[in-house]
């Protein structure tokens, strides 16, 4: 740790308990001071944006106060070290250095240590895997070491069900500078698991839901919803921060975007939420489960963005927030996925790869010709409300496939690029365009995406 890092770490540790009870005026002074001390344009812009939200009396400020005051001090210090000091401070400087050299380094990536799961949810591609399909712990450890060297300190753990692997606790303990966001079905979260999470302090748990009890249990199994509620209670009582994620299908849209659902999550103590659309991927893709084009527009106008502007919970919409990220973030522009076999996929929803982490370094795979093919085409169109190469621009995915010839990673063939699914996606994307293009032209006519405002800019890559 450098002297500057030490000073920043100590300053954050001293300031955080005070911030929660600061007056609005003093909080504004804090954000102003933090923006002046910020090491990069992105961090500076982030602090300026927070101060603007404070001035507008946005609910996110209440959410931040709630996060600070309700989080166990030990966990708060650990999380702020990994999120603020390592990821936003030291990591952003390191990543910018790499980018200035023509090396694309995303701020985060996803990794699935296992595809094993104790549930069999409808539409999920985590099927009947065994321990032989797990990614070796020594490989995970190596990848995380390489990530830290590149300035990546935010890692999302997926599955399968991550808490099925007991050996991962040693990984989380060894890499205490990394912020681990773990997506879970919540059924394995008991008092013992909660205790381990609280002791480590560098983990944010994200519970997967499909709505209230009826919607969740009909897809995941009887009793799952109540297990999730119990898990949330255990974490809240222990001062451990947590969030939620949901997959929107055409069957649960109205529940997911309702005030009743978000109010329940706020009351339970959730701080953040992730909104994902159902994607027809995996062994048994079903295009009929995708939200209709009309529902896409309903989600845009009445979903996560409306909720976070009204309630003290930060909901992220993986599609409708794309304008603020400059479109698609796949191919290591801002993220990618390593599956349990080590295959490096451009996106969690694109099950095709050209490289495996067993054979190459992290630096090599994120700067592969395959990933560069995605980055060179982003964004795929002017309308950033249609950011996705799978369901909004399937012709681009087929073009990249024909150019790079990736291999399928979860079945003999990738059905996304073959008929009849490819035909269904073409029809779907055209119908979505007929609805969202007029919305974009009307509401975003003067939209000016500035990379430094919300996310690091594109890299001028070297061949």
pLDDT digits (tens, 9 = 90+) for 275-318: 999 999 877 788 999 999 999 999 999 999 999 999 999 999 99
The full length of the chain comes to 463
The C-alpha atoms of residue 431 and residue 294 are separated, in whole angstroms, by: 9
Distance CA 8, CA 81 (A): 9
SS (H, E, C) the chain: CCHHHHHHHHHHHHHHHHHCCCCHHHHHHHHHHHHHHCCCHHHHHHHHHHHHHHHCCCHHHHHHHHHHHHCCHHHHHHHHHHHHHHHHHHHHHHHHHHHHCCCCCCCEEEECCCCCCCCCCCCCCCCCCCHHHCCCHHHHHHHHHHHHHHCCCEEEECCCCHHHCCCHHHHHHHCCCCEEEEEECCCCCCHHHHHHHHHHCCEEEEEEECCCHHHHHHHHCCCHHHHHHHHHHHHHHCCCCEEEEEEECCCCHHHHCCHHHHHHHHHHCCCEEEEEECCCCCCCCCHHHCCCHHHHHHHHHHCHHHHHHHCCCEEEECCCCHHHHCCCCCCCCCCCEECCCCEEECECCECEECCECCCCCHHHHHCCHHHHHHHHHCCCCCCCCCCCCCCCCHHHHHHHHHHHCCEECCCCCCHHHCCCHHHHHHHHHHHHHHHHHHHHHHHCCCCCCCHHHHCCCCCCCCC
> Per the structure block, which two tokens stand in for 69?
């005051």
- Is a pLDDT exceeding 90 seen at residue 89? no
Least confident of 53-57, 178-182, 225-229, 327-331: 53-57
User: Is it the case that residue 53 has pLDDT exceeding 90?
Assistant: no
The mean per-residue pLDDT over the stretch 42-67 comes to: 84
Q: Tokens in use for 74?
A: 């030990």
The predicted pLDDT at position 323 comes to 92
Give pLDDT, residue 83: 87
Decide if 83 contacts 154 (C-beta within 8 A): yes
The distance in angstroms from the start CA to the end CA of the chain is 34
State the pLDDT at residue 126: 61
Write down the pLDDT at residue 334: 93
Rounded to the nearest integer, the mean pLDDT of the chain is 89
- CA-CA-CA-CA dihedral for 351, 354, 360, 364, to nearest 10: -100
pTM for this prediction: 0.91
Judge contact between 214 and 184, C-beta under 8 A: no
User: Widest CA span of the chain, in angstroms?
Assistant: 60
Whether the Cβ atoms of residue 372 and residue 461 lie closer than 8 Å to each other: yes
pLDDT-derived band at 11 (thresholds 50, 70, 90) equals low
> Where does the pLDDT of residue 20 fall: very low under 50, low under 70, confident under 90, or very high at 90 and above?
low
Which range (26-40, 137-151, 257-271) has the least confidence? 26-40
Q: Given this model, what pLDDT does residue 357 score?
A: 98
User: Is 416:390 a contact under the CB 8 Å cutoff?
Assistant: yes
**Which uninterrupted H or E stretch holds 206?**
strand 203-209
Mean predicted confidence (pLDDT) in 202-208: 96
> Which range among 66-70, 142-146, 151-155 shows the weakest confidence by mean pLDDT?
66-70
pLDDT digits (tens, 9 = 90+) for 102-133: 888 999 999 999 999 988 876 565 656 778 88
Q: What is the pLDDT of residue 424?
A: 96
Average the pLDDT over 223-237 and give the result.
97
Look at residue 52 in the predicted model and tell me its pLDDT.
86
Between 227 and 78, name the one with better pLDDT. 227
CA 183 to chain centre: 10
Helix (H) or strand (E) holding 24, with range, is helix 24-37
**pLDDT band, residue 452 (cuts 50/70/90):** very low
Q: Is the pLDDT of residue 185 over 90?
A: yes
What's the number of CA atoms in the CB half-sphere (13 Å) around residue 162? 25
- Output the pLDDT for position 413: 81
Q: Which pLDDT value is given to residue 19?
A: 59
Look at the block and give the residue holding tokens 């709630």.
66
Backbone phi and psi for residue 344, each to the nearest 5 degrees, phi listed first = -100, 110
């Amino acid at each position: 740790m450098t002297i500057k890092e030490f000073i920043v770490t100590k300053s954050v540790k001293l300031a955080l308990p005070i911030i929660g009870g600061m007056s609005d005026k003093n909080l504004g002074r804090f954000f102003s001071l933090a923006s002046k001390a910020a090491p990069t344009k992105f961090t500076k812009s982030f602090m300026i944006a927070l101060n603007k939200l404070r001035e507008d009396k946005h609910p996110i400020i209440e959410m931040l106060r709630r996060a600070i005051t309700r989080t166990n001090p030990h966990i708060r210090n650990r999380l702020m070290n990994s999120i603020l000091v390592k990821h936003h401070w030291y990591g952003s400087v390191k990543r910018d250095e790499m980018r200035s050299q023509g090396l694309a380094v995303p701020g985060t990536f996803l990794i699935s240590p296992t595809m094993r799961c104790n549930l069999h949810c409808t539409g999920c591609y985590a099927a009947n895997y065994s321990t032989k399909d797990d990614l070796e712990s020594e490989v995970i450890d190596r990848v995380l070491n390489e990530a830290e060297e590149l300035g990546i300190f935010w890692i999302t753990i997926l599955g399968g069900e991550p808490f099925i692997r007991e050996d991962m606790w040693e990984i989380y303990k060894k890499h205490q500078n990394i912020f681990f966001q773990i997506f879970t079905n919540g059924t394995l979260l008991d008092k013992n698991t909660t205790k381990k999470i609280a002791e480590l302090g560098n983990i944010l748990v994200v519970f997967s839901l499909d709505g209230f009890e009826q919607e969740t249990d009909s897809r995941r199994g009887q009793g799952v919803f109540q297990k999730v509620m119990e898990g949330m209670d255990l974490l809240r009582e222990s001062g451990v921060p947590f969030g939620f994620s949901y997959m929107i299908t055409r069957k649960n849209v109205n529940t997911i975007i309702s005030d009743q659902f978000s109010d329940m999550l706020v009351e339970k103590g959730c701080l953040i939420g992730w909104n994902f659309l159902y994607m027809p991927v995996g062994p048994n893709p079903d295009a009929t489960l995708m939200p209709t084009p009309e529902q896409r527009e309903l989600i845009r106008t009445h979903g996560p963005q409306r909720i976070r502007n009204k309630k003290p919970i930060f909901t992220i919409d993986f599609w409708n927030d794309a304008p603020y990220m400059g479109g698609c973030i796949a191919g290591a522009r801002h993220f990618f996925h390593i599956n349990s076999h080590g295959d490096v996929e451009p996106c969690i929803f694109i099950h095709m790869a050209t490289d495996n982490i067993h054979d190459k370094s992290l630096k090599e795979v994120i700067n592969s010709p395959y990933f560069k093919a995605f980055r060179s085409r982003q964004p795929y169109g002017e309308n950033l409300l249609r950011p996705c190469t799978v369901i909004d621009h399937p012709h681009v995915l087929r073009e990249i496939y024909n150019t790079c010839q990736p291999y399928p990673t979860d079945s003999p063939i990738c059905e996304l690029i073959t008929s009849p699914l490819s035909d269904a996606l073409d029809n779907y994307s055209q119908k979505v365009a007929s609805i969202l293009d007029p919305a974009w032209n009307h509401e975003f006519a003067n939209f000016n995406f500035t990379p430094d405002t919300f996310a690091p800019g594109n890299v001028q890559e070297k061949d």
